[in-house]
Structure 1
Amino acid sequence: MGLEDDLERYREVGEERRQDLAEFIQYGDLGQSRPDEVKIPIKIVDLPEFAYDQRDMGGVGQGEGAEEGQPVGEPQPQPGDGDEDGEPGEEGGEHEYYEMDPEEFAQELDEELGLDLEPKGKKVIEEKEGDFTDMTRTGPSSTLDFERLFKKGLKRKLAMDFDREYVREALKVDGMGPSSVFEWARGENIPVSKAWLEEEYADLSSDEKTTWTSMEEMEANVEQSSTAERIRRDGVDSIPFRREDERYRYPEIIEEREKNVVVVNIRDVSGSMREKKRELVERTFTPLDWYLTGKYDHAEFVYIAHDAEAWEVDRDEFFGIRSGGGTRISSAYELAAAILEEEYPWADWNRYVFAAGDSENSSNDTEEQVIPLMEQIPANLHAYVETQPSGNAINATHAEEVERHFRESGDVAVAYVSSPEDVVDAIYTILSTEEEAQ
């Protein structure tokens, strides 16, 4: 086992020591990542190496000023070797990062939470021909499904087949004519036509028409053979094909649909949304953004900040901005509805509308404005995340009102986050609501 093997083993250990996904979401440094690249810290494992002190010019195995064979005593600590008085060091370990794209992140989060969402494609981007699995009554002869035609004809032949010799013997019974034999054959489930009986009866001589004195005598002396026995003995001489049995194969038309998604992130930036609340919003929304980016072919994001009024911001501003104004949550939904209607039609886009705040809202705004707007905006999922690190404030009722109104709805989720420990549960609440809706 050489040095290369050692290095490879240490690299494996390093990857095993990357931060657990749930721990990373709750406590990790999300700011090191980008929208298209998730960077999860790895605790660095120091690689073994040889050290050579060029200042040491003494002989091999002999300390400075010591006679040969003299014990050198206990090694003395040197400056920089460690903290004094045996106290543990306080410096954090050096870190590198395990990098994953949003698709891998979504797969791992599905495993972590026990979910597996299947996005729906909406916008048709291509139509192509698939296998020749569909059928039509007309088409070029090269696409005729002859196997199907043959089976239909064979099935009809078997249904029409009967033992002609046996029926012909019935015509030889004294006193039986075509009409009498036809009635007898119907009772025996023999599919013979009256025209055939008349033709066969006309070919019989006078002596043949009195061969048997009764039907009982004929049946006792003539053995009827089954269709299977006759086919094994004589084969199939002809198959009755009919035009109405003809079917022509043509390719199935497959629509390739692009799975597009727009995520509208709404955040309360009023004066009550202090740093801890803003951090909880970021810890909840950022993994959701990565997850949906990984799940869909094309993902776009709209960020809306609001106090008493709402305005669109970019992602960098969204998590850090703070206002001193009051709160009117409906202003954000009004803006979201306008943007979605103009730029992201429901027929072409999957939609997610996620809002977060401390549940404080102006009087009656939730019941009279926000809830009707949520009902009017078509979306795969609406979600509201309440962030209240110190517990519910007296007037923080927005989340409860939304939850109470949409309790029976399958496309609205409400989650409560009071600390980083609640973040993963909140994400599960949101995504599991989407899974149940599917």
Structure 2
Amino acid sequence: VIIPNKEDERFRSWRTVTEPQANAAIIYVMDVSGSMTDDQKEIVRTESFWIDTWLRSQYDGVERRYVVHDAVAHEVDEDTFYRIRESGGTRISSAYKKVAAIIERDFPPAEWNIYCFQFSDGDNWGEDNRECLKTLKDKILNVANLFCYGQVHSPYGSGDFIKELRKIQEQHENMILSEIASKDAIYDSIKQFLGKGR
């Protein structure tokens, strides 16, 4: 008969337990301009909910911020983000400036894992694109662990903004682009977004 000795390490076993990491800042950005239909906004809200659920399971301390925009961006609470109905033109740079201000105010990059998820139909005021890319590169991509842009298919919008982002995508490993054609594409979009990151 062999009796294991507790001091003898050969008889010990272990189990790997995944512990949540600390401090994730998640910033959700939604285009609520006139070209975004209620169906598109519902897709955004559904995808945001599941992204949020997954990230909360991975991190101990999760802080969330919500930004909505048409031609002007506003920081709102979670309830407003999930219920708001707006209209108007689109100036995406206003949202990027708001996100940059939130990061600077609340989330020092040395202390936070920063995730930004933006959703739009891709219809932006053309003259705003240069300002968008400058703000995105200088103020967000250089500090965010992950920046994800989901373009929701629209019968109205031009959908051109994703083309602007593709021009700089290769220079930024932390940027992921996803085209969301319908509710059925939400799962694949989430996999694209969360399958990569730091």
Structure 2 residue aligned with 1:382 = 147
Structure 1 residue aligned with 2:173 = 410
Contact 1:354 1:382 in 2 (8 A): yes
Report deviation, 1:404.
2.8
Report deviation, 1:359.
0.4
Q: Which amino acid aligns with 1:388?
A: H
Superposed, 1:114-193 pairs within 5 Å as none
Structure 2 residue aligned with 1:286 = 49
Q: Which amino acid aligns with 2:177?
A: V
Superposed, 1:88-99 pairs within 5 Å as none
Contact 2:66 2:77 in 1 (8 A): yes
Structure 1 residue aligned with 2:194 = 431
Superposed, 1:5-404 pairs within 5 Å as 259-366=22-129, 368-376=130-138, 377=140, 378-390=143-155, 393=157, 395-404=158-167
Q: Which amino acid aligns with 1:381?
A: L
Report deviation, 1:385.
0.5
Report deviation, 1:281.
0.4
Q: Which amino acid aligns with 1:309?
A: V
Report deviation, 1:364.
2.9
The CA distance in 1 between the partners of 2:163 and 2:186, in whole Å, is: 18
Report deviation, 1:389.
4.8
Report which structure shows greater RCO (CA 8 Å, sep ≥6).
2
Q: Which runs of 5+ in 2 are unaligned?
A: 1-17
Deviation readout 1:44-84 (Å, 9 max, x if unpaired):
xxxxxxxxxxxxxxxxxxxxxxxxxxxxxxxxxxxxxxxxx
Contact 1:281 1:319 in 2 (8 A): no
Report deviation, 1:305.
0.6
The CA distance in 2 between the partners of 1:324 and 1:411, in whole Å, is: 31
Aligned-pair RMSD on alpha carbons? 1.9
Deviation readout 1:207-238 (Å, 9 max, x if unpaired):
xxxxxxxxxxxxxxxxxxxxxxxxxxxxxxxx
Contact 1:265 1:304 in 2 (8 A): yes
Three-state SS of the structure 1 residue aligned to 2:195 is helix
Contact 1:403 1:413 in 2 (8 A): no
Taking a change above 3 Å as real, the CA distance of residues 400 and 319 of structure 1, as seen in their structure-2 partners, is: farther
Report deviation, 1:337.
0.7
Three-state SS of the structure 2 residue aligned to 1:264 is strand
Structure 1 residue aligned with 2:7 = none
Contact 1:389 1:417 in 2 (8 A): no
Three-state SS of the structure 1 residue aligned to 2:159 is coil
Which structure has the greater CA radius of gyration?
Answer: 1
The CA distance in 2 between the partners of 1:266 and 1:326, in whole Å, is: 16
Report deviation, 1:408.
4.3
Contact 1:353 1:381 in 2 (8 A): yes
The CA distance in 2 between the partners of 1:326 and 1:347, in whole Å, is: 36
Contact 2:29 2:117 in 1 (8 A): yes
Three-state SS of the structure 2 residue aligned to 1:364 is helix
The CA distance in 2 between the partners of 1:345 and 1:309, in whole Å, is: 25
Contact 1:374 1:382 in 2 (8 A): no
Q: TM-score, normalised by structure 1?
A: 0.39
Contact 2:36 2:154 in 1 (8 A): no
Three-state SS of the structure 1 residue aligned to 2:109 is coil
Q: Which amino acid aligns with 2:184?
A: E
